[in-house]
């Protein structure tokens, strides 16, 4: 660990945000052990856009958009703070895809020896970004995609990007994504569709959930993912131009995986400040009863660069009377 991150100890998670105080009789679900270790952001200082992580056993596996010559870079960590590069989770692309634009991968574990990775890639036939799926027996991979065409591709709507799998409490599997409308000047919708139990095919109709409607969102919303808390289904999403300081993170509350969904009036809940800009395309990780927002952000004034690029930040997401909030981006020492 570098001198910016104080040494980690035996605790499985060496990370926690100091709880924010709330008055008026509200309750905030957070507790920080007195012996917790501390850290400072960013937890990954190199270019690692669109992060998503899953825990298998005692190890966290993080996947992000292509960088460093890898289609799907994967990193491992025991604690969400100290990350070690672990190769390319998807070293070979299917025959229908071209390399160079493999974006926003997300993995889900469906059985002890079955993992499915959903990813955005350049579809040769349509010339658009489309969605693929690949399977592995271990979280590190290598994942293999044996398909002969994309899982989802909406060329007339600009293409399809930012796939996110979700297993609901009833066991059903769902896939979220965005049509890449801003690529052709049309609306960007967040979509939901049910997945087959093996995670490889879509069933039933696709449903439109949300599109860009608010001033802070600019011309697009993207990077969707579902998260249930106390039975309520939350849809988190990023909005605005990814390479600008106006990029930010918000959420909506949905009646179910097919909606309807209502955006939160307090959006955005994570936006630029003096330590990091353009925070967004987040994912959620949970440990020891606490919820964490894992997201990328630029160093101020370096939006759109690749060195250091979009670094990975970690802040606690607290729940006050069932409403999520995050104090961040936060660079000060956290526990």
Q: For the domain that residue 72 is a member of, what is the CATH number? A: 2.115.10.20
Low-confidence ranges of the chain (pLDDT < 70): 1-36
In a domain, 18, yes or no: no
Per the residue annotation, which of 50, 82, 106, 145 is the catalytic one?
A: 50
Give pLDDT, residue 289.
86
Q: Please state the domain count of the chain.
A: 1
* Side-chain-facing half-sphere of 315: CA atoms under 13 Å: 25
In-domain check, residue 286: yes
Question: Looking at the domain assignment, is residue 281 inside a domain?
Answer: yes
Do the domain assignments include residue 89?
yes
Please indicate whether residue 288 is annotated as part of the active site: no
Asked, for residue 55, whether it belongs to a domain, the answer is yes
Is 131 a domain residue? yes
**Considering the domain boundaries, does residue 48 fall inside one?**
yes
| Overall pTM surpassing 0.85 (yes/no) | yes
Structural domain of 180: 39-334
Does residue 285 lie in a domain region?
Answer: yes
User: What is the per-residue pLDDT for 16?
Assistant: 39
Active-site annotation holder among 47, 106, 123, 222: 222
Strands of 290-298's sheet, edge to edge?
Answer: 277-287, 290-298, 311-320, 323-326
Q: Residue 259: what pLDDT? A: 98
What is the reported pLDDT for 3?
A: 39
pLDDT given for residue 132 in this prediction: 98
Q: Is residue 222 annotated as a catalytic residue, yes or no?
A: yes
| Paired tokens of 247 | 């990029």
- The number of residues in the chain equals 335
**Which token pair is 147?**
């398909």
Give the whole-angstrom CA distance, residue 14 versus residue 11.
6
At 35, list the tokens: 């012996």
By three-state DSSP, how is residue 181 classified? helix
CA 273 to chain centre: 20
Q: Which residues of 150-168 are buried (b: 16+ CB within 10 A; e: fewer)?
A: bbbbbbebbbbbbbbbbbe
Residue recorded with tokens 């599997």: 173
Q: Distance between alpha carbon 156 and the CA centroid of its chain, in Å?
A: 26
Dihedral (C-alpha) 322, 324, 326, 327: value to the nearest 10 degrees? Answer: -40
């Amino acid at each position: 660990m570098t001198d910016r991150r104080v040494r980690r100890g035996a605790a499985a998670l060496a990370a926690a945000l100091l709880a924010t105080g709330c008055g008026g009789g509200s309750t905030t679900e957070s507790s920080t052990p007195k012996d917790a270790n501390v850290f400072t952001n960013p937890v990954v200082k190199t270019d690692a856009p669109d992060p998503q992580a899953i825990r298998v056993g005692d190890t966290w596996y993080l996947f992000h958009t292509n960088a460093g010559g890898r289609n799907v870079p994967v990193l491992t960590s025991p604690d969400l703070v100290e990350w070690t590069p672990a190769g390319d989770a998807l070293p070979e692309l299917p025959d229908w895809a071209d390399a160079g634009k493999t974006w926003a991968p997300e993995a889900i574990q469906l059985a002890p020896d079955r993992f499915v990775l959903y990813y955005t890639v350049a579809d040769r036939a349509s010339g658009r970004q489309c969605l693929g799926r690949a399977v592995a027996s271990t979280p590190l991979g290598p994942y293999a995609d044996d398909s002969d065409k994309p899982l989802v591709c909406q060329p007339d709507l600009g293409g399809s990007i930012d796939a996110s799998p979700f297993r609901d409490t009833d066991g059903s599997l769902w896939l979220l994504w965005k049509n890449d409308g801003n690529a052709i000047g049309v609306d960007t919708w967040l979509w939901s569709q049910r997945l087959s139990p093996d995670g490889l095919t879509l069933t039933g109709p696709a449903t439109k959930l949300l599109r860009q409607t608010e001033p802070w969102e600019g011309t697009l919303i993207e990077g969707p993912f579902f998260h249930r808390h106390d039975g309520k289904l939350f849809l988190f999403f990023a909005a605005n131009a990814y390479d600008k300081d106006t990029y930010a993170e918000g959420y909506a509350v949905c009646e179910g995986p097919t909606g309807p969904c209502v955006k939160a009036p307090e959006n955005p809940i994570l936006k630029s400040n003096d330590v990091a800009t353009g925070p967004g395309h987040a994912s959620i990780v949970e440990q020891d009863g606490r919820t964490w927002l894992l997201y990328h952000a630029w160093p101020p004034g370096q939006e759109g660069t690749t060195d250091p690029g979009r670094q990975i930040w970690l802040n606690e997401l607290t729940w006050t009377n069932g409403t999520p909030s995050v104090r961040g981006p936060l660079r000060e020492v956290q526990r």
